[in-house]
A and B are shown apart, each in its own frame.
Chain A
Amino acid sequence: MKPKETRLQLQAAPLLKQNMTTGQTMRDVLLALLPATLAGLWYFGLGALLVLLCSIAGAMLTEWIFSPADSRFERLSDYTALLTGLLLGLTLPPALPLWMAFIGGAAAIGLGKLIWGGMGQNLFNPALVGRAFLLATFPIAMTTWSPQTGPADFFQISASNLAAPFMQAAYDGVSAATPLGLMKFEQQSTALWALVSGNTSGCIGETSGLLLLLGGLYLLLRRDLDWRIPAGILGSAALFSAVLYILDPIKFPGPLFSIFSGGLLLGAIYMATDPVTSPLTPRGAWIFAVGIGLLVILIRIYGGFPEGVMYAILLMNAATPLIDRYTQPRVFGKGIKNQ
């Protein structure tokens, strides 16, 4: 019997490949964010959902408009625009006017990703670029926090959500300080359980520490994130605030409060770990992470804002090329004395 002649394909080795793909990683991150997102909707209602959708729409539409016509679908199907829009939305106040959320999404993709040359080329985390843009442009809307409505009033949308573009937003009157605001301006702590479960005011997706950690655990098990970054950020932030707490327990918050309040968990697990904008090398990752942890606490305590996660991450993003340059691994067999 003669072997059947088939057309053989030539391919340069290696012919084997592990199964994980970048698209799959993005889907994993979306999945990991789902519980915290649902918790945000539970606490803040339909308004929050609309903010998320507008931010995602802004991001995806910008990606679509500025992609070459023949690769639009392909660019959108890698989920990065969706993920950027969602991450940005999760860091926005629930009562933010929807048009601002949309602009934020557009800025995140346009200024955060596309002008750098697209996926993999940007220096700063796109979602945080969008947020920084919004904070600089609409400082009042970005720092006005509404109290939680709870599931009973799910369909109650706050008037400010529906403010017409470029008009002054009308707030419902009742505003609520975030735990960090309370801490900074009134030296008032919040119960730990409220922080862990998410029953506080704050950005849509940052309140539930427990669910954020759960998603992080999933990503860790799927090996989608560099564990050094969240470990380094949370560890150094906890250590630094513990030192301050021991020095003056009345003025400074304890380590657990520092970790579970504000956007630290969201930033440490889902934003600082963005591989594009964090160092490549393991040693670099530690430096990067510890830098963020220290900066967060420094900004929270000595800065003008009650929260510092965004600026801490953006600052360390800027330092990433430098960190990478100085932490290149030692090549095997280099620097060994020939005997």
Chain B
Amino acid sequence: MLSKLLKFSFAHGVHPRESKEATVSLPIQRMPFVREYVMPLNQQLGAPSKPVVEVGARVHRGELIAEPGAFISTSLHSPVAGWVRAIDNRRYPGGVFARSIVIEADPFDTQQFPRAARDWRQLGAEEFVAEIQRAGIVGMGGAAFPAHAKYSIPEGQHIEHLLVNGAECEPFLTNDHRMMVERPDDLLRGIEILLHNLGARSATIGVETNKPDAIEILRRHIKPGQPIQVAPLRVKYPQGAEKMLIKSIFGREVPAGGLPRDLGMVVNNVGSVLAVADWFEFGMPLIERVVTVSGDGVEQPSNLLVPLGTPLREVLKFCDGLKEGVSQVVMGGPMMGTSVASLDVPVLKGTSGILAFRKPRSVQSREYACIRCGRCLEACPYFLNPSRLARLARARLYEEMPRYSIMDCVECGSCTFSCPSGIPIVQLIRTAKSQLRQSAGKVV
């Protein structure tokens, strides 16, 4: 009860081992430039971007190379000065190929970026949204949802409150943690910019209590009178899911199928807020990001500032390579990340981590029948009935599943994590969801 009063939390959820100790105290290092960069056109949620450069063109660092393909889409910029060498299909996470712009870095370029602050005080609401889209900023926590779409508030709605998501509930990842510790002033500047342009009155930074130094440093850097506070959150997965974050801090539920803005809130990841600050303070679009490299298969775990488009092979090489017998490499966290089939896959806007594991993590020696133990029900933060959904999915009774609110599932994986029978519950639900979307005629 006491802990409930001191720390903010939500109901249900699971407690995977945090495994953050390997990188938690390592400062962010800048990754040196490599020879070739690959920028997939569909690295954000929504429509793919459209290239605006020709093969052979000379580009400088931060130059626009692709423009938004639709409103829910965003711009791409060259991560290095160099030449466009190809626009063709390259490897993409999940074992597939995607259309990408390939850029060869100029080895003799200094790769300087001309810093130029932009004015953010005189922008109209629409201009601000356009600026963010121009900067190519997406949700950096992993989903890569274009940020400007979050900031474009429909008529009749009003944003009261900005929530900054520093929960970082995925095991192994420490990139948000390091950014909060190392760049508190820039983070607070980003919050100030967002508060001003969204017309919001106050901001809360939610941080899990396993990052006491971040909480302390942020509190110290908040100037007196600034309408910003830090909320210590209970360590629990998926604390960083935006609806869970709102539930934890305000005790309010976002209506099913709705968005945080229905409650007058916008939720942004720490990395996204810093990207906003980078754009307005230094004129730097989203061309690099912080990535945690960790897992038992990496020689030298690190927190790296990596130019987008860097192939994983190069990032891992910089970390002294992989250990003997690595069988799995994952982009993102171990709970929601994507495993890759090839190290030629590049770092994307949504890549929060690169994890290498020596033996497959969740392979249980055998799968048992569902014994209806109910652990998945107690794990599901959305109060669904995963046991029932998995049974229906196994029986391919997909059309029955909307009655059990399948579309409210955010695929956090808590059910599969908690299942003692080793049933791939969330994987079954994912398949069912895509089947349902297909039969509804929407191809997502």
State the A residues within 8 Å of B (CB). 1-18, 20-25, 74, 78, 118-121, 226, 275-276, 278, 280-282, 285, 328-334, 336-339
Residues of A within 8 A of B384 (CB): 329, 331
Contact between A14 and B256 (Cβ–Cβ < 8 Å)?
Answer: no
Interface residues of B in 295-336 (CB under 8 A from A): 313, 316-317, 320-322, 324-330, 332, 334-336
- List the A side residues contacting B413 at CB < 8 Å: 13-14
Residues of B near A16 (CB, < 8 A) are 16-17, 171, 334-335, 361-362, 417
Kindly state whether residue B127 has any CB partner on chain A within 8 Å: no
Contact partner, B372, options A3, A4, A23, A120, Cβ 8 Å:
A120
- Residues of B close to A2: CB separation below 8 A: 317, 321
Task: Report whether B254 and A24 are in contact in the complex, using a CB–CB cutoff of 8 Å.
Answer: no
B240-267 interface code vs A (CB 8 A; 1 in, 0 out):
0001000100000111111000111000
Across the interface, do B255 and A280 meet the contact criterion of CB distance under 8 Å?
A: no
CA–CA, A22 to B364, complex, Å? 11
Contact between A12 and B385 (Cβ–Cβ < 8 Å)? Answer: no
Q: Kindly state the separation between the CA atoms of A16 and B364 in the bound complex, as whole angstroms.
A: 11
Q: Which of B322, B337, B426 lies in contact with A4, CB distance below 8 A?
A: B322
Is residue B377 within 8 Å, beta carbon to beta carbon, of the partner chain? yes
Q: Report Cα–Cα, A3/B311, bound state, in Å.
A: 12
Question: In the bound complex, do residue B377 and residue A15 qualify as a contact, i.e. CB atoms below 8 Å apart?
Answer: no
Name the one of A3, A8, A21, A119 contacting B341, with C-beta atoms under 8 angstroms: A8
A80 to chain B, nearest CB (A): 9
Contact present for A8 and B327 (CB under 8 Å): yes
CB <8 Å contact, B387 and A1: no
Option from A1, A15, A20 in Cβ contact (under 8 Å) with B317: A1
B120 at the interface (CB under 8 A from A): no
Contacts of A3 in B (CB 8 A): 313, 316-317, 321-322, 343
Verify B377–A21 contact, CB threshold 8 A: no
Give the distance in Å from the alpha carbon of A8 to the alpha carbon of B95 in the complex.
10
B341 → chain A closest CB, angstroms: 6
Would B364 and A17 count as touching, CB distance under 8 A?
yes
Residues of A within 8 A of B361 (CB): 11, 15-17
**Cβ of A5 to closest chain B Cβ, rounded Å:** 8
The distance in angstroms between the C-alpha atoms of A20 and B313, with both chains bound, is 35
Among A14, A24, A278, A336, residue most surrounded by chain B Cβ atoms (within 10 Å): A14
- Is residue B378 within 8 Å, beta carbon to beta carbon, of the partner chain? yes
Instruction: Tell me whether B262 and A12 are in contact (CB under 8 A).
Output: no
Contact partner of A120 among B262, B313, B371, CB < 8 A? B371
Q: A280 contacts which chain B residues (CB < 8 A)?
A: 372, 374, 377, 385, 387-388
Q: Least Cβ distance of A7 to chain B in Å? A: 8
- Cβ-neighbour of A339 out of B262, B370, B385 (below 8 A): B262
Q: Which residues of A contact B320 (CB under 8 A)?
A: 1
Query: Could you jot down 22 A-B contacts, CB within 8 Å?
Result: A3-B313, A3-B321, A4-B322, A9-B339, A12-B339, A13-B334, A13-B339, A14-B417, A15-B328, A15-B339, A15-B357, A15-B361, A17-B416, A22-B421, A23-B368, A78-B368, A280-B372, A282-B378, A328-B385, A331-B383, A333-B382, A336-B255
- Please determine whether A333 and B368 come into contact, CB atoms closer than 8 angstroms: no
Query: For residue B95, which residues in chain A have a CB less than 8 angstroms away from its CB?
Result: 10
Main secondary structure of the interface of A (DSSP, over half): loop
Closest to B94 in A: A10
* Cβ–Cβ contact B337 & A331, under 8 A: no
Pair A331/B377 contact, Cβ less than 8 Å:
no
Q: How distant is A225 from chain B, measured CB to nearest CB, in Å?
A: 9
Verify A333–B327 contact, CB threshold 8 A. no
Q: Are A120 and B256 in touch, CB under 8 angstroms?
A: no
Determine the distance from Cα of A275 to Cα of B255 in the docked complex, in whole angstroms: 32
Q: Name the 8 nearest CB pairs between A and B, nearest first.
A: A14-B413, A120-B369, A333-B256, A22-B368, A15-B361, A17-B362, A332-B382, A275-B373
A11 to B357, CA, bound (A): 12
Q: How far is the CA of A3 from the CA of B326 in the complex (A)?
A: 10
In the complex, chain A residues whose CB is within 8 Å of the CB of B253: 332-333, 336
Asked if residues B262 and A338 are in contact (CB atoms below 8 Å), the reply is yes
Give B323's nearest chain A residue, CB to CB. Answer: A4
Q: How far is the CA of A105 from the CA of B326 in the complex (A)?
A: 48
CB distance from B399 to the nearest CB of A (A): 18
Question: Are A338's CB and B324's CB within 8 A?
Answer: no
Q: Give the residues from 350 to 378 in chain B that come closer than 8 angstroms, CB to CB, to chain A.
A: 357, 360-364, 366, 368-374, 377-378
Tell me if B430 is interfacial: C-beta within 8 Å of chain A.
Answer: yes
Shortest C-beta distance, B288 to chain A (Å), equals: 22
The reply on B422 being an interface residue by CB < 8 A is yes
Write out the residue numbers on chain B whose beta carbons fall within 8 Å of the beta carbon of A12. 339, 424, 427, 430
The verdict on A333 contacting B420 (CB below 8 Å), with A14-B336, A15-B357, A338-B262 known, is no
* A331 with B362, Cβ < 8 A, contacts A14-B416, A226-B374 known: no
Is B216 in the interface zone, CB < 8 Å from A?
Answer: no
In addition to A5-B343, A275-B371, 12 A-B residue pairs with Cβ atoms within 8 Å of each other are A6-B322, A8-B340, A12-B424, A14-B413, A15-B337, A23-B368, A121-B369, A278-B372, A329-B384, A331-B256, A332-B382, A333-B255
- Complex Cα distance, B330 from A14, in Å, reads 10
What is the minimal beta-carbon distance from B147 to any residue of chain A, in angstroms? 23
Residue of A nearest to B379 (CB): A18
CB distance from A227 to the nearest CB of B (A): 12
Q: Taking CB as reference atom, which chain B residue is nearest A328? A: B385
A174 to chain B, nearest CB (A): 43
CA distance A336 to B260 in the complex (A): 13
CA distance A336 to B243 in the complex (A): 13
